[in-house]
Structure 1
Amino acid sequence: MFNILTLNEISNKGTDKLKNTDFVVTPDALAPEAIMVRSASMHNMELAPNLLAISRAGAGTNNIPIEKCTEQGIVVFNTPGANANAVKELTLAGLLLASREIIAGTTWTQTLAAEADIAAVVEKGKKAFIGPEISGKTLVVAGLGAIGVLVANAALSLGLKVIGYDPYLSVTSALLINNGVKIVENLDKAIGQADYLTLHVPYQASTKYMFNQAMFEKIKPGCRILNFSRGELVDNTALIAALDLGIVAKYVTDFPTAELLNLQNVICIPHLGASTPESEENCAEMAATELAAFLKYGVIKNSVNFPTCESPYINKPRITLIHKNIPKMVGQVTNILADENLNIDNMINKSRGEIAYTVVDLDSLNDAPKIISLLEQIPGMVKVRLI
């Protein structure tokens, strides 16, 4: 029986997948083996020794202490692609909001209730809200993951010329992207052509303030920028300077901050990217499926801190080992098993940076506590689990 703690309200589409004799899902779990979370911050949360996994019902994991989890052998999952369509749709809406003065115009219209002839006032005043059409313009899509590919393909259908950039373009994305999207290897040159620029880059240390003063100096004057990825990708101080100089004509972001609110050419949306019933359900279902596979069978898929390991469960004793990615670790494991006359039916070892994950299926297992104890004593071993 696994206890799963929910830190946010999780769609029933997800929690219902865990409602069986193997799992108890509750916001009141005191010693959970797993946690399901959406946006709640976990950085100041104590992580108990028995915690095995955290599943984020969404793509971003900046609310989770990833490094700390890795050190403690806690596998962190996310749900890439589950909210992709929702974010794509909002990005397309942002594209139109960046062009046509829809928000400013409708806000002005709300002030006209006392006018005797509203139609006449509208006809006279609407010229203040002229904005360009997007058809025929050039859109640069920075980041061609699940969301970026959908945005690029949809933008083609809207008549835009689309340039895509992703230094880590996956095979999956390459197969899905429309051949009308021009793929480039140099973002600096691409943004010099961009009438519109949309960001779909994952946030990490190397991408923080990726769009800074140096980048804004390379952007085509009058560019309109959309950020539905992460606020920290953009240096707001440099952005405001670029707005003041007219280098950036409009900035639409899903990540409001104090310095951006009430700026004339900035539209702040209240983080609505994944705020659809469909997206929340998709994310919850994927998060639940990932947790169930890991807790029951030791299978890892869509982890942000551990390698993918999808070794099929064959209904034999299975030992999973989280350990440092250093020489002779696997040899020490197999030596212990051999010394105890245990036969290995199947074994898989995967690594990711400084951490590694090994799954060992045995034909049989006697005196399990002794075996687990011996394995735990190997220098560099982080966590051992018997399934």
Structure 2
Amino acid sequence: MYKIKTYNKISVKGLDRFDRAKYEVASDINSPDGYILRSHKLHDETLPESVKAVARAGAGTNNVPVADYSKKGVVVFNAPGANANAVKELVLTGMLLSSRGIIRGMNWSNSLTDMTDAGEMSKLMEKQKSQFAGSELMGKTLGVVGLGAIGSMVAETALALGMNVIGYDPALSVEAAWRLPSQVARAENLQALLSRSDFITLHVPAIDATHHLINEESLKSVKAGAVLLNFAREAIVDAQAVVQSLDAKKLGMYICDFPEPVLLNRDDVYATPHIGASTAEAEENCAIMVADQLMDYLENGNIKNSVNFPAVQMERAGSDSARITFCNDNVSGVLGNVLSVLADHNVNVIDMVNKSRGELAYNIIDVEQTPAADVVAAIKAVEHVITVRVI
């Protein structure tokens, strides 16, 4: 029986994917085979040797020490795109709030507590409503930085609203390019996008290359009065530089999901408390996706949507066969040495697949019969092999 330890509150629809005849799922399990979590930070926790995989029910994995886990052969899964619609809708909300006097108008209306005559209040509304006038999104230009699952959905929605859309993503994948609407214009660089956009929305991961991507220098290129939206990650934006740009009346507004002390109590900043993926639907989608991925890995060795291992899928050779999976340092000769071990022990290989990603390689080998313990031990002893499993 596999054991899954949960952190945070995971959607029941995700947890119900686990067949309780094969899985024990709880928050207080010893020697778990895998983790499922949302925002819980694992950096300061000791990882049990039993853990084979960690599933983050969301897109970002900055709460998981991915590099350390990679060295131990632990697969880290995430759920890209599962919360995309929730974030897309919040981005749209941010654009609408920033372009119309909605919040200021509601606050002013709620301040009229000394008025008791509805007719007089109506007259006052007509007299004062011009101070809350805004502008429409149609015809404005949206710059989308990062054109993955969320960015492409935001771009498509903006086009449907009659906006012009510019996109910038130096790491755009072929799959994402096919998904992207053809009407999205391509910016040569970030500066070109910032200078042409009335609204700028960020949808890139928090990695070293994107740390403070929006900073004092890049904000010099921003179009005067532009609205910056950040529903991706806090570290992408230098908040102090944003405040300086707002004070200089260069940047018009900053809409984000990451409040910081320097951003509070400003009329030109709307900061929500990290609610981008906080919808019932998004939490369910994320939990279902990572539960399925975790089960497929534990039961079949297949890998999909891992942030540190290559994507690997292979159909089972047959009900009588056994499956060996192993990961290793991505250096030459390892697979050949493992195959030599199997040949020396007369273990017949039926099918196999080998993939690599960065410094790691991962292998699935289907064999005619379950290998003996000495065969598994011999594979583990091969230089550069990190972990071995027999499924």
Q: Measure the CA separation in 2 of the matches of 1:16 and 1:125.
A: 54
SS at match of 1:30: coil
Output one character per residue of 1:147-205: Cα deviation in whole Å (capped at 9) or x when no partner.
Answer: 11111011011111111111222233222222222123322112111111011111111
Q: Measure the CA separation in 1 of the matches of 2:264 and 2:206.
A: 22
Q: In the alignment, what sits opposite 1:348?
A: 353
Q: In the alignment, what sits opposite 1:7?
A: 7
Q: What letter corresponds to residue 320 of structure 1 in structure 2?
A: T
| Mean Cα deviation higher: 308-317 or 36-45 | 308-317
Residue pairs, 1:162-311, within 5 angstroms: 162-311=165-314
Q: Measure the CA separation in 2 of the matches of 1:321 and 1:138.
A: 49
How far off its partner does 1:366 sit? 4.3
SS at match of 1:295: helix
Q: Measure the CA separation in 1 of the matches of 2:383 and 2:132.
A: 67
SS at match of 2:89: helix
Q: Measure the CA separation in 2 of the matches of 1:42 and 1:365.
A: 35
Partners of 1:346 and 1:362 within 8 A in 2 = yes
Q: In the alignment, what sits opposite 1:322?
A: 327
SS at match of 2:36: strand
How far off its partner does 1:221 sit? 1.1
Output one character per residue of 1:260-292: Cα deviation in whole Å (capped at 9) or x when no partner.
Answer: 121221100111111111111111110110000
Q: Measure the CA separation in 2 of the matches of 1:262 and 1:73.
A: 46
Q: What letter corresponds to residue 251 of structure 2 in structure 1?
A: V
Q: In the alignment, what sits opposite 1:146?
A: 149
Q: What letter corresponds to residue 342 of structure 2 in structure 1?
A: L
Q: In the alignment, what sits opposite 2:379?
A: 375
Q: What letter corresponds to residue 297 of structure 2 in structure 1?
A: F
SS at match of 1:279: helix
SS at match of 1:201: coil
Q: Measure the CA separation in 1 of the matches of 2:185 and 2:353.
A: 39
SS at match of 1:60: coil
How far off its partner does 1:297 sit? 0.4
Output one character per residue of 1:42-78: Cα deviation in whole Å (capped at 9) or x when no partner.
Answer: 1111101110001011101111111111111110000
Q: In the alignment, what sits opposite 2:48?
A: 48
Partners of 1:140 and 1:191 within 8 A in 2 = yes
Q: Measure the CA separation in 1 of the matches of 2:143 and 2:262.
A: 26
Query: Sequence identity, in percent?
Result: 43
| Mean Cα deviation higher: 320-329 or 170-179 | 170-179
SS at match of 2:61: coil
How far off its partner does 1:88 sit? 0.7
1:357 aligns to 2:362 (yes or no): yes
1:135 aligns to 2:129 (yes or no): no
SS at match of 2:235: helix
Partners of 1:66 and 1:76 within 8 A in 2 = yes
Q: Measure the CA separation in 2 of the matches of 1:55 and 1:366.
A: 29
Q: In the alignment, what sits opposite 1:109?
A: 109
Q: Measure the CA separation in 1 of the matches of 2:378 and 2:19.
A: 35
Q: In the alignment, what sits opposite 1:332?
A: 337
Q: Measure the CA separation in 1 of the matches of 2:121 and 2:274.
A: 34
Q: Measure the CA separation in 2 of the matches of 1:242 and 1:254.
A: 19
Q: Measure the CA separation in 1 of the matches of 2:260 and 2:31.
A: 36
Q: In the alignment, what sits opposite 1:33?
A: 33
RMSD: 1.3
TM-score (norm 2): 0.96
Partners of 1:19 and 1:25 within 8 A in 2 = no
Could you list the runs of 5+ residues in structure 2 that have no partner in the other structure? none
Q: Measure the CA separation in 1 of the matches of 2:225 and 2:274.
A: 25
Q: What letter corresponds to residue 4 of structure 1 in structure 2?
A: I
Paired residue total: 386
Which residue, out of 135, 138, 155, partners 2:158? Answer: 155
Partners of 1:324 and 1:382 within 8 A in 2 = yes
